[in-house]
Amino acid sequence: MDLTIELTSLIGKPESEMLEYKAVLPPSRVVAKIICAFANTEGGFLVLGVTGDLQVNGLSDDLHANEITHKAIDLLSPQPVVTYQYFMHEGKRLYAVKVAKSIDKMLLQGVVYKRVGINIVQVDPPAHRFNSSGYTRLSTLSQSLELGKANATGSKIKFAEHYQRILKIFDDMGLFLYPAGPDQVTDNPEGLVLARILFSSFVDNFETYMSDLLYEIYLSNSNLLKSKQTITIEEVLNCADMQEFVNYCSRQKVLKLGKGSVKGFVNDNKEISQLGVVEQNEVSEIEKILQIRHLYAHRNGVIDDKFLLYYAGLYNVNEIHSISIAESCDKLEYLTNIVAKLDKAAVMKYHLATNQ
């Protein structure tokens, strides 16, 4: 079915419950979420290559939207009824997905979404209910993370949901993690181990966000990958499609994160450094947080000489480093604020797809 005539009459109309524009090619999960929401409402059209303010920019020829759409469909159950194609409009190459209303409830990896106006909402989202007599800051941070999901990239939403789960564990395990109060390090041995695991998890998740954001930036403009980076024929052949190749290249560019060097990541990836939102003092503070993670993940909290380079005069070699839940929340909130700045700047500069 050729959609050209139908689409030509749509382009230029404002976004609605049955029409959504994206300036760039989103990741497959974002496309799947949009398809799911349309299918659970009245159906609709996703048009790629047009901005939310109706500017027709077109899509890059380097990335193939069909591959992303196929991956998106594979994430949905039952299979949606969709039609998709490239088409030309005002001399620009666009791409559209037409979604039919589903008879049965459509799920994206077990979750139901629908359209409410131009927004996508989760049906019966899991409630993050916190202990009314517990540490109230946990629920406050979780609410802030929930609000931060609006107009956020898929990377930031995933980041926020991970942090919300960690905050819920803090709340559920209060007797182990902060029996004497959130400002006091627990004296429970199991609680100490759990606190270190959770701290390492949310710091790791910050690094994952950086990697995921860079991937979204590359997906929005594959020309950014055209550099002097050496890629072997074997590496190319090992990738099943263009999306996997872009994913592989972006992962190669963030290998320094595995060594705990945010400074190296920012300096070596101009797509991030040119956002100009992370100050050097903030980079230094993130590096210090990473060093705590290093102790917990690799040395069971035992302080070494490298750690003292970041915390000179505060500790001694072979001391055991421990952290209270209140201080963990300080670090978690600090990283959350950095992510908020990065995400907002990246969306504006690279026109990344967001959750409305």
Mutual orientation of helices 65-74 and 28-39 as an angle, nearest 10°?
Answer: 60
The DSSP-derived string for 48-84 is ESB-TT--B----SSS-HHHHHHHHHHTEES---EEE
Q: Which residue carries 């998890």 as its tokens?
A: 201
Length of the chain: 356
Co-location of 176 and 324 in the same domain: yes
Average pLDDT score over residue span 300-319: 93
pLDDT tens-digit map of 166-180: 999 999 999 999 999
Whether residue 194 is predicted with pLDDT greater than 90 in this model: the reply is yes
For residue 131, tell me if it sits in a domain: no
Respond yes or no on whether the N-terminal peptide bond of residue 78 is cis (omega within 30° of 0): yes
Q: Contact, 341 vs 277, CB < 8 A?
A: yes
| Residue where a domain stops, chosen among 122, 149, 169 | 122
For residue 130, tell me if it sits in a domain: no
Residue-averaged pLDDT of the chain: 87
Largest CA distance in the chain: 73
What Å distances lie between residue 344 and 148, 149, 183, CA to CA?
10, 11, 32
Cα torsion at 130, 131, 132, 138 (round to 10°)? -50
| Better-scored residue on pLDDT, 322 or 24 | 322
Whether residue 233 is predicted with pLDDT greater than 70 in this model: the reply is no
H/E run at residue 108? strand 107-108
- Report percent pLDDT > 90 for the chain: 57
For residue 346, tell me if it sits in a domain: yes
For residue 268, tell me if it sits in a domain: yes
Co-location of 169 and 297 in the same domain: yes
Gap between the Cα atoms of 159 and 202, Å rounded: 9
Co-location of 147 and 253 in the same domain: yes
**How far, in whole angstroms, is CA 142 from its chain's centroid?**
16
Average pLDDT score over residue span 7-36: 91
Cα torsion at 326, 331, 333, 336 (round to 10°)? -160
Residue-level pLDDT at 258:
47
Residue-level pLDDT at 242:
58
| Residue where a domain stops, chosen among 63, 89, 122 | 122
Average pLDDT score over residue span 137-150: 94
| Better-scored residue on pLDDT, 219 or 71 | 71
Whether residue 236 is predicted with pLDDT greater than 70 in this model: the reply is no
Co-location of 110 and 225 in the same domain: no
Residue-level pLDDT at 235:
58
Q: Contact, 220 vs 350, CB < 8 A?
A: yes
Co-location of 116 and 191 in the same domain: no
Q: What is the DSSP letter of 259?
A: G
Would the CA dihedral through 284, 348, 71, 37 be positive or negative? positive
Residue-level pLDDT at 184:
97
- The region of weakest confidence among 52-61, 220-229, 290-299 is 220-229
For residue 128, tell me if it sits in a domain: no
Number of neighbouring beta carbons within 10 Å of residue 106:
24
How crowded is the C-beta side of 294, counted as CA atoms within 13 Å? 18
Write 338-344 long-range contacts (CB < 8 A, 24+).
338/206, 338/278, 338/282, 338/286, 339/156, 339/159, 339/206, 339/209, 340/148, 340/156, 341/277, 341/278, 342/210, 342/213, 342/272, 342/275, 342/277, 342/278, 343/152, 343/153, 343/155, 343/156, 343/213, 344/277
Tokens of 324: 């209270």
Tokens of 54: 């109706």
pLDDT tens-digit map of 80-93: 999 999 999 889 99
By residue range, what is the domain housing residue 153?
136-350
